[in-house]
A and B are shown apart, each in its own frame.
Chain A
Amino acid sequence: NAGVTQTPKFQVLKTGQSMTLQCAQDMNHEYMSWYRQDPGMGLRLIHYSVGAGITDQGEVPNGYNVSRSTTEDFPLRLLSAAPSQTSVYFCASSYMVGGIDTQYFGPGTRLTVL
């Protein structure tokens, strides 16, 4: 299993540009999520999905869109990039066994918006 994969690893955008961060998992997990990580602030939830066709907003959804057409893929779209969106973005998927949610994180995408 490849686990959770993310592309690209690094990206530089200009203000106003749009782009899609890709996330895929091959573990057949129903739950997937996107976080952003900024220095000193931990991870903040952007959007999440409990299964194909179902998405919902997290703590910081503004400026981002998601879709979940398949169990495997959960892309994150930046509609019009702003410098405040400079961050490291992590995708995660999880499953529950015995009452324990184990979240698996991808390697991250480091995004800089100029």
Chain B
Amino acid sequence: GQQVMQIPQYQHVQEGEDFTTYCNSSTTLSNIQWYKQRPGGHPVFLIQLVKSGEVKKQKRLTFQFGEAKKNSSLHITATQTTDVGTYFCAGRDNYGQNFVFGPGTRLSVLP
């Protein structure tokens, strides 16, 4: 079945440094979503990407969907302590109705 992988598993950065997490799918995706989960909280929807090569920005966050629609990335510029949490990607292939989540990347930001 469809598998979604994320790297790195953990990332520790100094406040102000940039951060990137990568998401890779074993199958071609129809679309991909990104979520953020604060420690002790629940996942919160951030964005959905649909088109090959699509790039979307939300303030300091930049999301990209690969040309082959099998990978995606989330880049945070100049991290802040409010960025702490686990970032999940979730991909849906052309045959599935549901999204398959990656294992997540846990981000720690040191002040």
Do most interface residues of chain A lie in helix, strand or loop, or is the interface mixed?
strand
Across the A-B interface, how many residue pairs have beta carbons closer than 8 Å?
A: 48
Stretch at the interface among A20-28, A64-72, A74-82, A96-104: A96-104
User: Once the chains bind, are A33 and B45 in contact (CB under 8 Å)?
Assistant: no
State which of B1, B48, B98, B102 has its C-beta within 8 Å of the C-beta of A42. Answer: B102
Task: Select the residue from A43, A106, A107 with max chain B CB neighbours within 10 A.
Answer: A43
Q: How far is the CA of A94 from the CA of B48 in the complex (A)?
A: 13
Number of interface residues of B (CB under 8 A): 22
Instruction: Report if A61 contacts B (CB, 8 A).
Output: no
Q: Tell me whether A44 and B101 are in contact in the complex, defined as CB-CB below 8 angstroms, given that A101-B48, A105-B44, A107-B42 are known contacts.
A: yes
Do most interface residues of chain B lie in helix, strand or loop, or is the interface mixed?
loop
User: Once the chains bind, are A48 and B98 in contact (CB under 8 Å)?
Assistant: yes
Instruction: Report if A2 contacts B (CB, 8 A).
Output: no
Number of interface residues of A (CB under 8 A): 23
Q: How far is the CA of A102 from the CA of B35 in the complex (A)?
A: 10
User: Once the chains bind, are B44 and A43 in contact (CB under 8 Å)?
Assistant: no
Q: Tell me whether A43 and B101 are in contact in the complex, defined as CB-CB below 8 angstroms, given that A100-B48, A101-B33, A101-B48 are known contacts.
A: yes
User: Once the chains bind, are A45 and B43 in contact (CB under 8 Å)?
Assistant: no
User: Once the chains bind, are B42 and A108 in contact (CB under 8 Å)?
Assistant: yes
Q: Chain A residues near B101 (CB, 8 Å)?
A: 35, 42-44
Interface residues of B (CB under 8 A from A): 1, 4, 9, 33, 35, 41-45, 48, 50, 88, 90, 97-104
